[in-house]
Structure formats: structure tokens, C-alpha cells
Amino acid sequence: MLVAVAVGIWVVAGYFAVQGPRSLLAQGTADVPPQPLASELTPSSAVPLASSLAPAVSPPSATKAAPSATAQPMDTSACVAAIFSPGTFRKKPNFEFLCTQTNPRIGGLDVRARVVLGASGNVTDGMREWAGLGWYEMAAYGLLRARCCSSSPPLKWTFDLVCPVDESLARLQKAVAARDQAAIQEAVKDYTKQVICLSKFGQAENFGQTASPGAGITAFNVLLGRAMGGSKGAAK
């Protein structure tokens, strides 16, 4: 009996000596499929990175730009005073009517009254300049409106014009507002042509004029030069 057991143990020992323990392990794991190596893993089978699991964070919205400062309204009275000769006004005048008065004849008379009041009983260069405008008083009124009013209704007349001086004044105001020197010269030339026409056809009385049509061009050029910053835009 003992001999049989010993023989059996010997046979088993001999088997392991020849086959080794791996053969037995291989038999025990024959039904288990081989596992892939780490290098053989595909991207889809790999464990996702922590960064890919983090929720997307939207960039902060851009800060809205601060609204631009509101443009200050034009000071019409100060603008007009600056076009006149220094010393014309002892205190700040009121020319607010300029941007609403559409009758150039009445408007010119209103400017004249402000100039006289501003002198406080003295005779100023501003008074001399305005008094010397003659037929160009309407052109000077249009000049002040074009330079010192942010907006103003078109000029009107209470009587029919035999010559289109209204069109000349409209072109003059547009040229002054645009600071177009060439257009200013052409508009003044055409204005001179139209007032000569008005005088010729007997409308001088309607405008309160007794002087010759071209007599006020020098005084007008002085005002125009100041209004345009020292440049000369009128034609002689």
C-alpha cells in the first residue's frame, strides 16, 4: 500500500519536473480570454481624462463701453459775439432769436438793435461794420445763422422777389456751414448779381435800401473773415 502511494507521488513529481507548474495553470485558465496589454488599448477604451469631464466654462462677457458724452448745445449768442469786432458788446448779448427768425429783413434789423444796445451809448467798430453792410445785411444775417445755429428753418420773404436772391442766400449759408471757400466765393458773386437785379427792377424800397448794391461788400468781407477763422471767402 505504501509502495503504491510512493509510486504515485513519484509519478506526480516527475510530471511536474518535466512539464513544470505552468502547464497546470494553463489548464486552469484555458477558458479565460487573454486580456489586452495597456499599449493595445484604443482611445475609446481608455479611461477619460479628468479635464474632459470638467464642464465647459464660457468666457466672461465683454464689458459694455461707457456711453459717449452728450454733445453740448451751441451757445448761439457767444458765437455771434465772437464774429463781431472786440469791444462791440459790453456784456453778453442775446441772439437766440437768430435761429428762429426766418425773415432776413427783420432779422437784420434785430441784429442791428442788439449791436447798438451792446455799445452802451458808445460808437463801436461793430456798429460801424453792421451799418456799412447795406444790401449785404441779409447776407450777413444768413452768415450768422449758418455759423451759429445748429439748425434753423429756411429764410422767407413777405413779398414776391423779382430776382432769386433767396436761392443765392441758401447757397451761401450751405457753403459757410460746409466751410467751402470756393462755394462761398461763388455764392457771394451770385448774391451780388441778384441784389443788382433787385435794385434795377425797383425792389430796393422793399429791402429798405438806398445805397448802391455793391457798397457793402467790404464790411461783409470783414465779418466773413472772422466767421471763417480769418480766411477770406468773399469776392470783390
Express each pLDDT in 201-236 by its tens digit.
Answer: 999 999 999 989 988 999 999 999 999 986 444 444
pLDDT at 72: 61
pLDDT at 12: 40
Lookup: cell for 5? 502511494
- Across the chain, mean pLDDT equals 78
- Average of per-residue pLDDT across 85-99: 93
More confident residue, 230 or 20: 230
Distance CA 146, CA 133 (A): 18
Cα of first residue to Cα of last residue in the chain, in angstroms, is: 153
- Average of per-residue pLDDT across 143-150: 96
Out of 53-57, 83-87, 95-99, 144-148, pick the least confident: 53-57
pLDDT at 16: 38
Ranked by mean pLDDT, which of 2-6, 88-92, 196-200 comes out on top?
196-200
Give Cβ neighbours of residue 235 (< 8 Å, ≥ 6 apart): 185, 186, 188, 189, 192
Phi, psi of 166 (to 5 degrees): -65, -40
Number of H helices, E strands in the chain: 10, 0
More confident residue, 81 or 64: 81
Express each pLDDT in 151-164 by its tens digit.
Answer: 999 999 999 999 99
Quickly tell me which residue has 447795406 as its cell: 134
- Average of per-residue pLDDT across 138-157: 95
pTM above 0.85, yes or no: no
Q: Where are the alpha helices (DSSP H) in the chain?
A: 2-19, 21-28, 50-53, 76-83, 104-118, 125-131, 137-148, 165-178, 181-200, 217-227
Distance CA 84, CA 135 (A): 18
Lookup: cell for 146? 449758418
Rounded to 10 deg, the angle between the 217-227 and 181-200 helix axes is 150
Distance CA 132, CA 117 (A): 17
pLDDT at 74: 80
- The residue length of the chain stands at 236
pLDDT band at 21 (very low <50, low <70, confident <90, very high): very low
- Average of per-residue pLDDT across 96-109: 95
